[in-house]
Amino acid sequence: MLLSAGGTAALAQESEAQEVVGSYLPGEGECTGNVKAKKDGSVTGFKEDGDACTVPIDIPETGFFDLVFTVKAQGGYKENYVWADGQQAGTLVAQTGKEEDAAVRRVYLEKGAHEITVSKYWGYIDWLRLTVLVSEPFDESIFDVSSRLADPEATENARRLFSYLCDEYGKSILSGQYCDTGANGWENMKIAETNGGKYPAILGLDLGYYSQTGVDHGASVSTTEQAIAYWEKGGIVTLCWHWLAPEKYVSGTWYSAFRPEECDMDLTAIMNGEDEEGLALLKKDIGNIAVQLQAMQEAGVPILWRPLHEASGGWFWWGAEGPDTYKKLYVLLYDMLTNEYGLHNLIWVWNGQNKDWYPGDEYVDIIGMDIYAGEHVYTSQIDQFLLNHSCSPGNKMVVLSENGTMIDPDLAVRDRAMWGFFCTWSGEFVLNDGVRKTYSERYTDAQMLTKVYNSDVVITRDELPDLLTYPIKDGG
């Protein structure tokens, strides 16, 4: 479960130009669990699962609204869930430990009575006030993105693919599915079988076991072959890398050594030059990955490349020591793969999950957000879409680089949350535990899956153009 892209700076100034629909004291609402009202009308006590406060509001006319929460975090950065009439609407981010405003934007509400709930995720906030504002008109210019890649020497196939993605951005959403066993893996087979035969436009794969620690332990992996095969079938490939720490630093299970609790490594010391051996070991791993990416480049395969993902969550070693150290590693990886190893088939998808972790437009082509919204939560995640768009000082394409539950394409169109693509994670999000030949409806029911894959705005593999001949835009 993943952190939101960070920041709601200057909300007070932004809200001055917006129409105020109503202002509410949460203490006058309904408190659940440990949450208690204080004399000033605020509430506190978000400590355990089930702790929540629900505030009734009234909407005079149907439309889009910004929910602005005046809050104070107890002890620094905190996140908690926001619900509108029982549907998850976004994440309330309190950053400073001081009184501040945090917004969930463009919540669609029909005329009449509604209930807004804040429930515990991290907890430990005081909620002082809720202000409901009419949302500003949606700015369609955010879909006007440049097709020029960060790598000026990008291959023709990479440029053709990116030109296509830019042409479709704001109009369509490409479908995607992670499946380590490729086109014919259970996840993809069940997706196609359940929705009437359509395969995802994008196949998601992982390079984790190509890390030297995986090689040393005899890990069996065919990611490179699967990537080439999917491209040859007319599909698109995205790759992440659950980078296993070098064996020297592994303190737990080797196959989980992408987690900081499974390794003992001072990444800051490595990136500052204090641990020269550690840097050499990381560079060796980068070389291992370069070999695989080179094989794909030679086969003509452009890659939606998403390394060092979900950094700000802290649950991977590359993000466990803060944004400065992370950005040094990201830039090193970019420089080595692009300039030292001559890999120009990569479209760089940054997935840091927080604006403070953004390395700069010169290293990024696409901004990715990973969202696991919960079972049967089909909302468009428009607030997260807008937050991620704000990570770049310019315009960058925003994609749903991982999801658990799929989003309802009708809601995406309504809200204008037109993610460039989605890519559903594997395992339990598609398949039943212990019965791998059956589709699991735990997160996305079969009816919604069919709706998604047969939507006019969702592109499947059979609907992709010939990406070997697709025209390259002038910006590319």
Catalytically active residues, by annotation: 310, 402
* pLDDT for 2: 29
Domains of the chain, first to last: 11-134 (2.60.120.260), 140-463 (3.20.20.80)
> Residue 50 — very low, low, confident or very high, per pLDDT cuts 50/70/90?
very high
Q: What is the pLDDT of residues 331-356, one digit of tens each?
A: 999 999 999 999 999 999 999 999 99
The average pLDDT across 180-207 equals: 94
pLDDT on residue 176: 98
Predicted model pTM: 0.92
* Residue 14, pLDDT above cutoff 50: no
- Per-residue pLDDT, averaged over 250-262, amounts to 97
Q: How confident is the model at residue 16 (pLDDT cuts 50, 70, 90)?
A: low
In SS3 terms, the chain reads as CCCCCCCCCCHHHHHCCCCEEEEECHHHCEEECCCEECCCCCEECCCCCCCEEEEEEEECCCEEEEEEEEEEECCCCEEEEEEECCEEEEEEEECCCCCEEEEEEEEEECCEEEEEEEECCCCCEEEEEEEEEECCCCCHHHHCCCCCCCCCCCCHHHHHHHHHHHHHCCCCEECEEECCCHHHCHHHHHHHHHHCCCCECEEEEECHHHCHHHHHCCCCCCHHHHHHHHHHCCCEEEEECCCCCCHHHECCCHHHCCCHHHECCCHHHHHCCCCHHHHHHHHHHHHHHHHHHHHHHHCCCCEEEECCCCHHHCCCHHHCCCHHHHHHHHHHHHHHHHHHCCCCCEEEEECCCCHHHCCCHHHCCEEEEEECCCCCCCCCCHHHHHHHHCCCCCCCEEEEEEECCCCCHHHHHHHCCCCCEEEECCHHHCEECCEEEEECCCCCCHHHHHHHHCCCCEEEHHHCCCCCCCCCCCCC
Q: How confident is the model at residue 6 (pLDDT cuts 50, 70, 90)?
A: very low
The pLDDT of residue 337 is 98
* Strand 435-439 with 431-432, pairing: antiparallel
Question: Confidence class of residue 22 from pLDDT cuts 50, 70 and 90?
Answer: very high
* Digit-coded pLDDT (tens) for 95-132: 888 999 999 999 999 999 999 999 999 999 999 999 99
- Mean local confidence (pLDDT), 308-326: 96
Closest C-alpha to 313, from 374, 356, 376, 256: 356
Confidence band of 435 (pLDDT split at 50, 70, 90):
low
Share of the chain above pLDDT 90, in %: 89
What's residue 11's pLDDT?
Answer: 44
